[in-house]
Amino acid sequence: MSGVPGRAAWGRSRWRCMAGFTLLELLVAVAIFAVIGAMAYGGLQNVMDQQQQTALHSERLKGLQLVYRILQRDLEQIVDRGIRNEFGDPVEALVGGSGFTGVELSRAGYPNPAGFLRSEIQRVAYIPDQDRLLRRSWRVLDRAQDTQPDEQVLVENMVEFAMRFLDENREWQENWPPLTGSGSGPAGLPLAVEVKLELEDIGALSWLFRVPMAYTPQLVPGGAGGQSGDQNDDTDTDTGQGSGGAAPQDEVAP
């Protein structure tokens, strides 16, 4: 009988070792795990949303950079070459505003690697179409009535598109050719073009492009000797190495 109490004590200690959590402890543990999981999921969801917004914004900026490059390529290669439209009417090299929807211009740099019978000057136009900005290009300069342009969508979700032009008097014009022109001849090209683009998600953008000018160098007559019928004197005047001659200088438009 003396060994019975010992076996009972050993049984009770073994039962204590095998005992698990109570129901209350399990409920507390599950509640804590649920709170931690909810916090972790909320943080992960925020990170994923931010990553998605960053990717969308990056793609938007990438598209705008492409639009900037296309505008820069067209405007900085503009040439003073007018065309004839579908009805045979003459159109100047650059037309914008004054009842014309968008801007139309002639640009150089239209490569012809296959050697087709066409010009290396291309006619392009930027046309606002509701909330989109379209770029149209023609494969010929002087168009026929059945000539169809190639069309490319540059910008979507657009609010406003406008251009203005800097004339030779350093004054901004909303139309080109300027409405205040004398009309004695072609208006030529502006000194610069400002592009204003307003988007729904980004806001207003303003880009300024300088238009290349055709510089015509001219020799300044030099020396106090005036004109001479001697051929050597003429040569000295041209090269700027004769007695009393001045080195030639280039006069360019401001």
Which residues 6+ apart lie within 8 Å of 102 measured at CB? Answer: 96, 125, 126, 127, 128, 161
Question: Could you tell me the CATH superfamily of domain 75-210?
Answer: GSPII I/J protein-like (3.10.610.10)
**Phi/psi zone of residue 119: left (φ > 0), alpha (ψ -120 to 50 degrees), beta?**
beta
Rounded to two decimals, what is the model's pTM? 0.65
Find the mean pLDDT for residues 83-102: 85
State the amino acid at position 172 in one-letter form. W
Q: Is the pLDDT of residue 96 over 80?
A: yes
pLDDT score at 234 = 43
Q: What is the DSSP track for 226-243?
A: ---S-HHHHHHHHHT-ST
Q: What confidence tens digit (pLDDT) does each residue in 152-210 have?
A: 999 999 999 999 999 989 999 999 988 765 555 567 899 999 999 999 988 999 999 99
Weakest mean pLDDT among 53-57, 112-116, 174-178: 112-116
Which residues 6+ apart lie within 8 Å of 141 measured at CB? Answer: 81, 83, 106, 119, 121, 122, 123
Phi, psi of 106 (to 5 degrees): -110, 135
The full set of domain ranges for the chain reads: 75-210, 219-254
pLDDT score at 72 = 93
pLDDT, averaged across the chain: 78
Higher-scoring residue by pLDDT: 10, 20:
20
* Token reading at 82: 């007018």
